Amino acid sequence: MKEAAMPVYSSLRIRENDAGHIRAWKKRTAEKLLVLRGALDAHIADASGGDSAMPVPERNGRQWLRLATWNLREFDTPKYGGRLKESLYFIAEIISHFDIVALQEVREDLGSLRVLMEFLGEHEWGYIATDVTEGSSGNRERMVFVFQKNRVRFTSIAGEVVLDKSDVVTDFSAICFRDTSGLNVEFPEGSLFSHSGDVPVVKSKGKTFLQNDLEIPLPEGTRIVLPKGSSLVLPRAAEVPVSAATGQVELDFSVHKAWSKQAMVRPPADALTGVGLQFARSPFLVTFQAGWLKFILCTVHIYYGTGREGMVRRNEEIRKLTRFLSKRAESEHDSDAENFFFVLGDFNIVGKEHVTWQSLHSNGFRVPDQLRKIPVGSNVARDKAYDQIAFWQQPVAPHPGATFIDVGNAGIFDYFRYVFRRGADDPDGEDELYYAEKTKKYKLTYKEWRTYQMSDHLPMWIELRTDFGADYLSAVSVSD
Task: Give pLDDT tens digits for 419-449.
Answer: 999 999 999 999 999 999 999 999 899 999 9
| Amino acid 428: pLDDT | 94
C-alpha torsion 158→162→166→171, nearest 10: 140
Give the whole-angstrom CA distance, residue 310 versus residue 211. 14
- Cα-based distances in Å from 176 to 223, 269, 271: 16, 11, 8
φ/ψ of residue 280, rounded to 5: -55, -40
More confident residue, 139 or 470: 470
- Above 90 in pLDDT, residue 167? no
Alpha-carbon distance of 292 to 465, in angstroms, equals: 9
Task: Give the containing element (helix H, strand E) for 470.
Answer: helix 469-477
pLDDT classification of 174: cutoffs 50, 70, 90: low
- Mean pLDDT over all residues of the chain? 87
Please state the separation of Cα 325 from the chain's center in Å.
16
CA atoms of 328 and 339, how far apart (whole Å): 11
Distances (CA, A) of 47 to 51, 54, 159, 463: 9, 10, 33, 10
Q: What residues are paired with 389 via a beta bridge? A: 344
Q: How would residue 480 be classed by pLDDT, with cut points 50, 70 and 90?
A: confident
The residues, ordered by sequence, that sit 6+ positions from 62 with a Cβ below 8 Å of its Cβ are 2, 291, 467
- Cα–Cα distance measured from residue 119 to residue 6, given in angstroms and rounded to the nearest whole number: 9
pLDDT of residue 56: 44
Of 114 and 330, the structure prediction assigns the larger pLDDT to: 114
Dist CA 160 CA 284 (whole Å): 5
Q: Which amino acid is at 297?
A: L
Residue 186 has pLDDT above 60, yes or no: yes
Q: List pLDDT tens digits, range 65-110.
A: 999 999 999 999 888 899 999 999 999 999 999 999 999 999 999 9
Contact (Cβ atoms closer than 8 angstroms) between residue 95 and residue 5:
no
| Cβ contacts of 299 within 8 Å, gap of 6 or more | 69, 102, 103, 104, 143, 145, 283, 284, 343, 344, 345
Residue type at position 432: E
DSSP label of 5: P
Question: How confident is the model at residue 349, as a pLDDT?
Answer: 96
Over residues 122-137, mean pLDDT:
89
Do 410 and 370 meet the contact criterion of CB atoms below 8 Å apart? yes
pLDDT at 52 over 70: no
Lowest-pLDDT choice from 63-72, 303-312, 361-370, 462-471: 303-312
What's residue 172's pLDDT? 53
What does the pLDDT read at residue 51? 43
pLDDT band at 260 (very low <50, low <70, confident <90, very high): low
Reply yes or no on whether the pLDDT at 59 is more than 90: no
The mean pLDDT of 44-49, rounded to a whole number, is 76
Cβ atoms within 10 Å of 380's Cβ, excluding its own: 19
Burial class from Cβ neighbours inside 10 Å (0-12, 13-18, 19+) for residue 437 reads: exposed
The dihedral over CA atoms of 21, 22, 25, 26, expressed in degrees to the nearest 10, equals -150
Nearest one of 303, 378, 288, 304 to 342, comparing CA atoms: 288
193-227 confidence digits (pLDDT tens): 666 567 777 888 788 877 776 777 778 888 888 88
Can you tell me the distance from the alpha carbon of 230 to that of 253, in angstroms, rounded to the nearest whole number? 16
What pLDDT is stored for residue 4 in this prediction?
A: 56
Bigger pLDDT: 190 vs 40: 40
Of 27-31, 196-200, 364-368, 472-476, the poorest mean pLDDT is in: 196-200
Contact 459, 101 (CB under 8 A): yes
The CA-based diameter of the chain, rounded to the nearest angstrom, is 102
pLDDT of residue 249: 74
**pLDDT tops 80 at residue 366:** yes
Q: Of 236-245, 391-400, 462-471, which range is least confident? A: 236-245
Higher pLDDT pick, 251 / 131: 131
Does the pLDDT value for residue 156 go beyond 70? yes
